[in-house]
A and B are shown apart, each in its own frame.
Chain A
Amino acid sequence: MNKYVKTAVDGLITNNATFKLVLGTCATLALTTSAINGVGMGLSVTAVLLLSNVVISLLRKVIPNTVRIPAFIVIIATMVTILRMALDKFLPDLYDSMGVFLPLIVVNCIILGRAEAFASKQPVLDSAIDGVATGLGFTAALTIMGVIRELLGSGSFFGIQLWDFKIGFFTSSAGAFFVYGMCIALFTLISNRVEYAHRARKARELRVPAEGPLDAPGISAKEEA
């Protein structure tokens, strides 16, 4: 896989920001009481993450290491605030549904986390891809958790009331921890299985003897016997 596809897959699945790196937990726990919130927050984070990764990776050579954290945070905060003002002015209905998340994003660990770990070291295109991939991975994770908690907690799916059998535990914050923990466990289980299969396949490719699969003298003699 070429470099870009690898970064994309990394951001989306292999080291998914919510389930693998466990970043942005405050947003994940607080906002997944309903699936719509999850989607809204996820998409807002994706937009901001893309912008901030690009800008920070453009400036990565300029910003010296001693003041990198304040510099990054000022860039991110300014961008979010201006985005919020512009959205409020020009796209009011989008602002009504997304606007409430933007101030939350400034405090979200993912943006600074990716900026610090990735964008400040990689060229612009990689950072952009990583930004989008991590953002979408985060959205997917939040939506899954949102659906689970909304379905069990308030018996509705994306706002449509399915049944009125409600388990209060899932909308509570203790429930959020529990669901988050179980999702991570599931994610680790699946990713381990995939990794073993991948590693086994790679090992099997290695194991083919130098001359070719079947013409080695030893093996053919034994099969005939």
Chain B
Amino acid sequence: MTVKQFFKSNAFKSLAVLLAIVIIAGGLLAIFNDLLFVSDEERFNRTIEKIYGGSATVEETLTITDENGTFDKGAVSAAYKMSDGNYLIHSSGKGGYGGDVYLWVVVIAENGKFGGIEKVLLDTSDGETLLGNFRDSFYENFTKHNDELVEGKYFGTSGSDVINNVVTGTTLSSNAMCNAVNTAIDFFKSAVLGEEVVSYTYLYEKYVDMTQTTIERDFAANSVTLRIVMQANGIAPSIAFDVTVKDGAITAFEATKPFVQQYDETKIDESLRNGTYFVGKTAEEIAAALPDGETLDPAKLEGLGLATGASRSSESFFRAAAFATANFEAFFAPENLTYASYVDFEQSTFTWNYTEGNEVKMHIVMQANGIAPSIAFDVTVKDGAITAFEATKPFVQQYDETKIDESLRNGTYFVGKTLEEIAAALPDGETLDPAKLGGLGLATGASRSSESFFRAAAFALSNYTFYLTGGEQA
């Protein structure tokens, strides 16, 4: 094969041609990639162009930190104050099909107060094939509920007090859409207006110091005894109340002593202090005294035959009563129990064994926890202590047995533990610090699944009394 022949041969020709094609292609690609690179800044101008069509420019760019930018249902990556006074927020919502959904939300800021949503535009949403501007009408109905938004309601796909069926068409990422818009609203309220935004499970929870408040539920008697500790209300100090509500009406209401020495007794009407005024009142009557749901109109006090003055403290009285009565059903809803946010209530069952008296058998099914699959536990609690704790099989084959400690799996670790000891492992009530596992003498690793273990145990112990009366008969 002489050299000349080699150059003519098919082998060399194919090598040369392919090399030529590849070099040209590679060159073109690299050059065009640099040439046509769309910088973020240009992309941002394009979005502004699309939303405002040139009518407004960016006045000020807000700094986004990890602390003010992340929320439980989504996150905010950028926010700008526009020349027309409104705020343009780039927020993402979790739970989209195959990834988060990113939205540009224009929030109306009328003279420093939240005024609703002016426009919503899809930025990109990985995993969503075509939600582009073909269906702009898709986002209009986000802007049609401003009055409800001002009241404090949020967008959602389920639940009573949310604005739902806002999103039609693809239901897959509709909750991601709502999460993104809600996140933008929360960000606007917290970062821009400085309001303290915390999502509440109960009504009037804003005024109650939940950490010290205890709720005793008696399912059989359908009554709740609460020890409500109110937050300080302006100059009025924090007041504590012992309230029992039966069948939705207050049966006992007594302001415990601590408030007296800080305040002048004569200013507060006798019937308020010993609670006789509230006895027998239902949620509607109390709510009537708090027209806008929070402030007590002093003038109304005469109308109710009460001594005027000390309106801030009496306001706390009314708020406590409202808190106790308005949430009466909510207290009995299992989702609002302590440590209950990760339990899958559809599949869980709780049976109360009559013969043994105070023994409750719980089959608790935990929701999936990040990548850890949903795990089911069979727990029996007798006289307030765990007597048997066993993780049923389903979780094993998806997960590596060696990662979870033997004593956790067969439950021996939890037997006999008190609620305090278990609660100690969950500092903020829900996350298990992997490092602590070592401290408790357990194999580290597989922290997500072990977290479900601890949560289930904590739930079982803390709600033993509730299910003692509330669970089905065995």
Contact = CB atoms under 8 A, between A and B. Distances in A.
B46 A71 contact: no
Interface string A107-134: 0000000000000000000000000000
Contacts of A159: 134-135, 169
Nearest to A85: B36
B235 interface: no
A64 interface: yes
A62 interface: yes
A66 B11 CA distance: 8
25 contacts: A31-B129, A34-B129, A36-B134, A40-B130, A63-B17, A64-B13, A64-B17, A67-B14, A71-B17, A71-B18, A71-B21, A74-B21, A74-B25, A75-B25, A77-B25, A78-B25, A81-B29, A82-B29, A88-B36, A92-B46, A93-B133, A97-B132, A159-B134, A159-B135, A161-B168
B62 interface: no
Interface string A121-163: 0000000000000000000000000000000001010010100
A97 B130 contact: yes
B350 to A, nearest CB: 33
Given A97-B132, A100-B129, A64 B14 contact: yes
Nearest to A96: B132
Contacts of B132: 96-97
Nearest to B22: A74
A70 interface: yes
Contacts of B168: 161
Nearest to A64: B14
B3 interface: no
Interface in B1-59: 10-11, 13-15, 17-18, 21-22, 25, 28-29, 32-33, 36, 38, 46, 50
A224 to B, nearest CB: 72
B17 A67 contact: yes
Interface string B120-139: 00000000011011110000
Given A88-B38, A97-B134, A78 B29 contact: yes
A37 B130 CA distance: 7
A222 interface: no
A96 B50 CA distance: 12
Contacts of A77: 25
A34 B130 contact: yes
Contacts of B13: 64
Given A78-B29, A161-B168, A97 B133 contact: yes
A77 B13 CA distance: 22
Given A34-B130, A36-B134, A62 B17 contact: yes
Q: Which 4 A-B pairs have the closest CB atoms?
A: A78-B25, A85-B36, A89-B36, A64-B14
B18 A37 contact: no
Contacts of A67: 14-15, 17-18
Interface string A47-78: 00000000000010011101100110011011
Contacts of A62: 17
A86 interface: yes
A161 B169 CA distance: 8
A37 B135 CA distance: 12
A96 B169 CA distance: 19
Interface in B118-175: 129-130, 132-135, 168-169
Given A86-B36, A161-B169, 5 more contacts: A37-B130, A66-B10, A78-B28, A93-B133, A96-B133
Interface in B224-239: none
Contacts of A70: 18
Contacts of B21: 59, 63, 71, 74-75
A14 B10 CA distance: 37
A62 B14 CA distance: 9
A85 B21 CA distance: 20
Given A92-B46, A159-B134, A82 B17 contact: no
B169 A85 contact: no
Contacts of B133: 93, 96-97
Report which residue of B22, B25, B50, B168 has the largest number of chain A beta carbons within 10 angstroms of its beta carbon.
B25
Contacts of A66: 10-11, 14
A205 to B, nearest CB: 49
Contacts of B28: 78, 82
A78 B31 CA distance: 12
A85 B46 contact: no
A86 B35 CA distance: 10
A57 to B, nearest CB: 15
B322 to A, nearest CB: 39
Contacts of B130: 34, 36-37, 40, 97, 100
Contacts of A59: 21
Interface string A90-112: 00110011001000000000000
Nearest to B13: A64
A78 B10 CA distance: 25
A37 B14 contact: no
A78 B135 CA distance: 32
Which among B13, B18, B46 has the greatest number of chain A C-beta atoms within 10 A? B18
Given A36-B130, A64-B17, A85 B135 contact: no
Interface string B72-87: 0000000000000000
A74 B17 CA distance: 12
A88 B14 CA distance: 35
Central interface residue in A34, A75, A82, A88, by most chain B CB within 10 Å:
A82
Contacts of A86: 32, 36
A114 B25 CA distance: 21
B169 A156 contact: yes
A63 to B, nearest CB: 6
Contact of B38 (A33, A75, A78, A89): A89
Given A78-B25, A96-B132, A97-B130, A85 B17 contact: no
A27 B369 CA distance: 34
A156 B129 CA distance: 17
